[in-house]
Amino acid sequence: MSHVAAGATSSNYGHVAGKRLGVKKYAGEEVKAGNIIVKQNGSVYHPGKNTYMSKTYSIHAKTDGVVAFRRMSGFKRGKFYIDVVESK
């Protein structure tokens, strides 16, 4: 008789589709209001001028314009912000 219980099989374990996270619109690209710029888990990138963050931490454009990334120095050192600069 066996001294150890039999282990369960896990043939369907780990077969999950990717979440398609990442930067969708890069610096210098034109966006329309409502376009997704970044999809992320947690707030790695923060919303700047003319952008907002949704409840899934995605950053969207508020207005039409051109995407710009910036990295803060000083008090908020190291944080990344995303802006939409209105094109004229």
Residue 52 lies in a domain: yes
At residue 4, the pLDDT reads: 79
CATH of the domain at 41: 2.40.50.100
User: What whole-number distance in Å separates Cα of residue 62 and Cα of residue 85?
Assistant: 10
Residue 35 lies in a domain: yes
Q: Give the distance between the most distant pair of CA atoms in the chain.
A: 81
Contacts of 63 (CB under 8 A, 6+ apart): 33, 50, 84, 86
Residue 70 lies in a domain: yes
At residue 3, the pLDDT reads: 80
Residue 3 lies in a domain: no
- Using alpha carbons, list the distances in angstroms from residue 4 to 1, 10, 11, 73: 9, 18, 21, 59
Residue 2 lies in a domain: no
At residue 19, the pLDDT reads: 94
Q: What are the 10-residue block averages of pLDDT along the chain, 88 residues in total?
A: 73 84 96 97 95 97 96 85 90
Residue 64 lies in a domain: yes
Residue 32 lies in a domain: yes
Residue 16 lies in a domain: no
Apex 44 CA angle, 47 and 21, nearest 5: 95
Q: What domain range is 53 assigned to?
A: 22-85
What's the number of domains the chain is made of?
1
At residue 72, the pLDDT reads: 86
